[in-house]
Amino acid sequence: MNLKNIHNIYLLGIGGIGMSALAKYFKMLGCNVEGYDRTQTPLCIELEQSGIKIHYVDDTLLISSAFKEVSNNENILIICTPAIPKDSAELNWFINKGFTIKKRAEVLGEITRTSSTIAVAGTHGKTTISTCIAHIYTHSGVGCNAFLGGISKNYETNFLHKENCNTVVVEADEYDRSFLQLSPSSAIITSVDADHLDIYGSFEKVNEAFSDFTKCIKSDGKLLYKKESCFIPPSINAEVATYSVKEKADCSISNVTLSNGLFTFKLKTPWGNIDNITPGITGMFNIENVVAAASMCLWEGLTPESIKEALATFTGVKRRFDIQVSNARNIYIDDYAHHPEELKAFISSVKEVYPDKKITGVFQPHLFSRTRDFADAFGVSLSLLDELYLLEIYPAREKPIEGITSKTIFDKVNISHKYLNTIDELFQKIKINKPELLLTMGAGDIDQYIEPIKKIILRCL
């Protein structure tokens, strides 16, 4: 597939975080970009405002003539997300007409093959790290093309671009083994935990996929991985280094202090040191992410001064330790955490930054299979809270599993103040109880309730 010959792009599931970044990329290249999604998300509205045609009914009559009145389809590319059902009318129309249909990961893979690519993989932390790297490159003036798995708060986008730049930053997604399509020059692996067991079946298979990912790194490339992770990379034709904020590693920190909610520390690496780094984001798990990003940027040759300056202005990613309200009476933080290890890291970091606050958490479980597979671990992580409001499971791509509900997790949580709630009940309890430190957590549609919750809290002042 030669992307230079492609002039018309159609994206099935165009509103997703990864798909919309590709839509922006091809629009930037001057291609005609169109697509379908079942929901008009804020990302879809942004794409429409840039001139991209989108419709929200799965109907072949709504596909424009640019994809119908053609003598051949060699200059047309159809990109499909795994979330599109196999019985989709539009998907099957394109299949029957003989169009080239690629997964998002395949297209990203094609882009990385001809670029100097930094790919960030791992079951947790990859969005923050990739966004941080992209910010360092952009803030320093070096620039990059970045395909991000979240919305950068610095730039209000999931896609960054610089003209005539061959450096690409991507989030390497392990779901459906998508990251095996990539050809990175450099890679980071943050953690390898049991997840997506509906795809992999076992942790051993997850670990095996990450080993295969390291073999995708280009010859004489670079691999940076977290020292205390369960992952041990195989023998590969690349330089390998470790990072950690807890153990002795190639890249480590010292002189850590916490003041006014922000950490300051010294970073030591084989490629140079940086004194008195104070990132604009907080939480020790985020400091770990910053260490990975800054260490890779040093390894890639960026100067310590430019990295330090960029980190001071880095405001993070939406829905990652995302402080919504912070005043003398109330603090409200939202986070995408949806795996037990992510919840544990997030809640622990909140407790460290705000040690004297009573912490109330709202959690929306994501997927029936994940609830089933990790019920005990969810119970342990959520028991770190002082109070829990548990919402119904967000099914995403799954159908219900008999006997698996939010109560499956609820019964495992070992705290006195825990409640099963609907959204309306949650709003009422927040209004009445006025929690001093509130967390919302989950990967489903809980993000739709951030603004309503924020308004309730602010009205209670």
Instruction: Give the tokens for residue 30.
Output: 């001057």
Q: Across 244-301, where does the E strand assignment appear?
A: 252-259, 262-269, 272-277
The pair phi, psi for residue 223, each rounded to 5°, is -130, 125
Measured distance CA(411)–CA(435) in Å, rounded: 23
Check: CB of residue 24 under 8 Å from CB of residue 47. yes
Strand partners, 292: none
Query: For residues 354 and 323, what is the distance between their CA atoms, to the nearest angstrom?
Result: 13
Question: Are the beta carbons of 25 and 147 closer than 8 angstroms?
Answer: yes
* Strand 418-420, strand 437-441: pairing: unpaired
For residue 150, is pLDDT > 90? yes
Q: Quote the pLDDT of residue 355.
A: 92
* 168 has a pLDDT exceeding 80: yes
Q: What's this model's pTM, rounded to 2 decimal places?
A: 0.88
pLDDT band at 196 (very low <50, low <70, confident <90, very high): low
- The answer to whether residue 195 scores a pLDDT higher than 80 is no
Residue 387: strand, helix, or coil: strand
Name the least confident of 41-55, 64-78, 308-322. Answer: 64-78
Structure-token pair, residue 308:
């330090």
Phi/psi at 370 (5° precision):
-70, -40
115-312 — its CATH code? Answer: 3.40.1190.10
| Domain map (residue ranges) of the chain | 3-103, 115-312, 322-459
pLDDT in tens, 300-337: 999 999 999 999 999 999 989 999 999 988 999 999 99
Q: What confidence tens digit (pLDDT) does each residue in 255-264 have? A: 999 998 899 9
What is the residue type of 246? K
**Confidence at residue 70, expressed as pLDDT on a 0 to 100 scale:** 66
Identify the pLDDT of residue 261: 85
The whole-angstrom separation of Cα 149 and Cα 319 is 11
- The CATH number of 3-103, from 3.40.50.720, 3.30.365.10, 3.40.190.10, 3.30.70.20, is 3.40.50.720
Mean pLDDT of the chain: 93
389 vs 374: CA distance, rounded Å = 18
The topology under which CATH files domain 322-459 is Protein-Tyrosine Phosphatase; Chain A (3.90.190)
Q: What is the pLDDT of residue 375?
A: 97
